[in-house]
Amino acid sequence: MSDQTPEATSPEDVEKHQYDVVVIGAGGSGLRAAIAAHEAGAKVAVVCKSLLGKAHTVMAEGGAAAALGNLWPDDSWQVHFRDTMRGGKMLNNWRMAQLHAQEAPERVLELEDWGALFDRTKDGLISQRDFGGHRYARLAHVGDRTGLEMIRTLQQRTVQLGIDVFMECTITDLMRSDGKIAGAFGYWRESGSFIAFEAPAIVLATGGIGKSFKVTSNSWEYTGDGHAMALRAGAKLINMEFVQFHPTGMVWPPSVKGLLVTESVRGDGGILKNSEGKRFMFDYIPEYFKDETADNEEEADRWYEDKKNNRRPPELLPRDEVARAINSEIKAGRGSEHGGVYLDIASRRSPEFIHKRLPSMYHQFKELADVDITAEPMEIGPTCHYVMGGVEVDPDTEMSGVEGLYSVGECSGGMHGSNRLGGNSLSDLLVFGKRAGDAAAAYVSGLGGVRPTLSETDLKSAEELALSPFDRSGEGSENPYTIQQDLQQVMNDLVGIIRTREELAQSLGEIEKLKERAEHLEVSGDREYNPGWHLAIDLRNMLLVSECIAKAALEREESRGGHTRDDHPGFDEKWGTLNIALSLNAAGDGVDLATQPLPVMPDELATFFEGDH
């Protein structure tokens, strides 16, 4: 520890800015919200923890799901809506799923108008590919780097419009006045100096929670910041028990364990095999999907020739089903050399096809694992990828229960229910990013110039809390890296793909111990270039969000989507109509839990599901 504790600056020394709308996060949903708010006349800023363009939207390689009907004219928003609801095991907010399915085509075409270069059909239309859980091939794509093209397009438009961007700037707290949003407080990561934004509307677009888990596709930014800040500001979180473990992450070498392997590999014909060479997914088709899933190789292979009339391959079941199947094979001792299973496209497609359709995957495996996917199978295994849970919002405006606070993308809950279909994330970002930006600008306009103001007392408190890790020393001090490592192990071992009451209860006890240890976090050095200090601040969010996941998972005594209870297999009718909502407790040091009924779907939409199991 340095000889001198960095002193808190006085509130007058905090760098201050005033905007109408501040968007926290510069992924697809954040940039789309910023563009919409700007075009609606608001003064907008985008604040991002990392660099502009380094967003997890880039990881969404396969495509954006939208019922354009370019390959299959029978596709429609109604079919897309049904697929999304069934993929989420009917726990989705029906209105969000409806709006998403209806508006996704327009948002994708709008992206094309702004310069996105999609792959084309022979007729010159936007090409669409297959993904798990989708009845028709409907993912508009750019090879296997669609998210990158989306970010490039949105980023270019953001800069072109002159929207202010604050890069490498972390927001630590949301500020309120009389229960309404007044702004946000944070710090510059390079210098450690503090910054405050006065704004009556905040759009959270901070992404997910993956860095609470040991094996994840998420990078360092994904520490649940938006989830935790929303909780502390008075909003509710829903669906937090539902964590998506993407079926296919790299398992070797250790330096890249968890790195995503796009679902496009399976969408373009790749199959899953165990160490005995068996194509095992035929053994794991759930009753819920038996009517539309092929149960033999011949029928499965016909799907790629005539998708309209044949049942889809079992490798294209929703992600939760595939991840559980892979996990079962590994646990049964039929895993690969490095603890995964094999994903084989080399025996199914020509090298030319793979180079054209999956160029990023080819280079990823060649450079990082010295594996040529045109000649040999990939070793893959489940990796923590996405959280379906997030801030409870109004489906039309994305406003939370706190006036002036909006949430979009992965830190918003409701749209995906208990499981997200691949490809729905990119179109989700576009649809609800635009809606949130429009609504936030309209909200500010409706204030008529009467804006909440930042409290100097609140700013001072936020500073002192941010600097507290520098002010601890002596016996019992804790290292932030050790606490994060211990938290990741707890979540991996006790709150992973397969859960039990005993293990979940144990995890909550371990998280409480970690919260107590975090009270003694100590960081050394000063505020410039200090990653240990940054992690100490992030841990406050990670511990709170991890408690939400474990507590909700313990409460839901059934298996559904991204939540599997070994002691409660299968659906429970009681839980099929309930959300678990979490809020900050009165003491501010933990979460309270309550169940609430799902919004009731109108009859004209409910008819789409008649005859379902």
**The whole model's pTM is what?**
0.91
Amino acid identity, residue 457?
Answer: T
- For the domain 48-242+388-595, what is the CATH superfamily, name and number? FAD/NAD(P)-binding domain (3.50.50.60)
| Catalytically annotated residue among 266, 312, 540, 563 | 266
Sign of CA dihedral 139, 136, 563, 255: negative
417: left (phi over 0), alpha (psi -120 to 50) or beta: left
Phi then psi for residue 164, to 5 deg, are -70, 135
Mean pLDDT by 10 residues, the chain (613 residues): 42 85 97 98 97 83 92 95 95 98 98 95 93 90 90 96 98 97 97 97 97 92 97 98 93 88 90 96 90 89 72 89 92 92 95 92 93 95 94 98 98 96 95 98 94 94 94 78 96 93 98 96 92 96 98 97 93 95 94 97 93 64
Beta bridge partners of 468: none
What integer pLDDT is reported at residue 471 of this predicted model?
A: 81
Q: What percent of the chain has pLDDT over 90?
A: 82
Tens digits of residue pLDDT in 391-435: 999 999 999 999 999 999 999 999 999 999 989 999 999 999 999
Examine the residue annotation and report whether 534 is marked as an active-site residue of this protein.
no
Examine the residue annotation and report whether 266 is marked as an active-site residue of this protein.
yes
What integer pLDDT is reported at residue 8 of this predicted model?
A: 44
> What are the residue boundaries of the structural domains of the chain, listed by start?
48-242+388-595, 247-383
247-383: CATH number:
3.90.700.10
Sign of CA dihedral 404, 107, 48, 231: positive
What integer pLDDT is reported at residue 554 of this predicted model?
A: 98
What integer pLDDT is reported at residue 475 of this predicted model?
A: 60
Phi then psi for residue 503, to 5 deg, are -70, -40
Give the number of other Cβ atoms within 10 Å of residue 333's Cβ: 8
What integer pLDDT is reported at residue 1 of this predicted model?
A: 34
What integer pLDDT is reported at residue 48 of this predicted model?
A: 96
| Catalytically annotated residue among 38, 134, 246, 517 | 246
What integer pLDDT is reported at residue 308 of this predicted model?
A: 57
